[in-house]
Structure 1
Amino acid sequence: MDLNEYQQLALRTASPKDKPNEVFQLLLGLVGETGEIAEKAKKIVRDRGSDFTQWDTEDLTKELGDTLWYLAVLADYFDIPLEEVGRRNIAKLADRRQRAVLGGSGDNR
């Protein structure tokens, strides 16, 4: 399955774009799902000596899927194909690698 196909399938379970506060709900959902992943990572650090080999990958896969759903639907809200999001991100990273600025901080490095 490619990213645009995933996006179209995800939209079958999304609310209409014109639903009041829909973009805000999508943003909060995305942050919430990524927060769940971070919370589980924190517990591995706290309770398992940072041994990420003990991460329940089935659970992680589900949480990453929830995050991907929100990302796909949010991109669609602004008429951005998910494949374009991926393509531009890979191009940005390739450019940074070529210029030897993968490390560091700042959006425009």
Structure 2
Amino acid sequence: MHLNEYQQGALRTAAPKDKHNEVFHLLLGLVGEAGEIAEKAKKIVRDQDSDFTRWDPEDLKKELGDTLWYIAVIADHFDVPLEDIAQLNLTKLADRQQRNKLSGSGDNR
């Protein structure tokens, strides 16, 4: 499946763009889903001595899928195709790698 196909599929279950406060709702949903992933990771650190091999891959796929849904729908609100986001990100990271700047902090490194 291509990312833009996924995005179009995700939109079939999204609220209308003109729904009051919808972008805010979507942003809170994205943060909430990312928080769920972090919470599960925290429990692996706390209860399983950071043994991430114990993370249930099916559960992880579901949670990552939820975050992907929010990203796809938020991007659509701003008329940005997911494939554009993915390509831009890979280009940015390749540039940082070429300049030996993968580590560190700051958006424009």
The answer, yes or no, to whether TM exceeds 0.5 is yes
- After TM superposition, the structure 1 = structure 2 runs for residues 1-109 of structure 1, keeping only pairs within 5 Å, are 1-109=1-109
What is the TM-score when the length of structure 2 is the normalising length? 0.99
Letter in 2 for 1:88: L
Aligned-pair identity (%): 76
SS in 2 for 1:67: helix
Name stretches of at least 5 consecutive residues in structure 1 with no aligned partner: none
Name stretches of at least 5 consecutive residues in structure 2 with no aligned partner: none
Q: Deviating runs (4+, > 6 A) in structure 1?
A: none
How many residue pairs get aligned? The number is 109
How many Å separate the matches in 2 of 1:42 and 1:103?
23
SS in 2 for 1:13: coil
Instruction: Give 1:29 deviation, angstroms.
Output: 0.4
Letter in 2 for 1:63: E
Instruction: Give 1:64 deviation, angstroms.
Output: 0.3
1:63-97 deviation per Cα after TM superposition (whole angstroms, max 9, x unaligned): 00000000000000000000000000000000000
Letter in 2 for 1:90: L
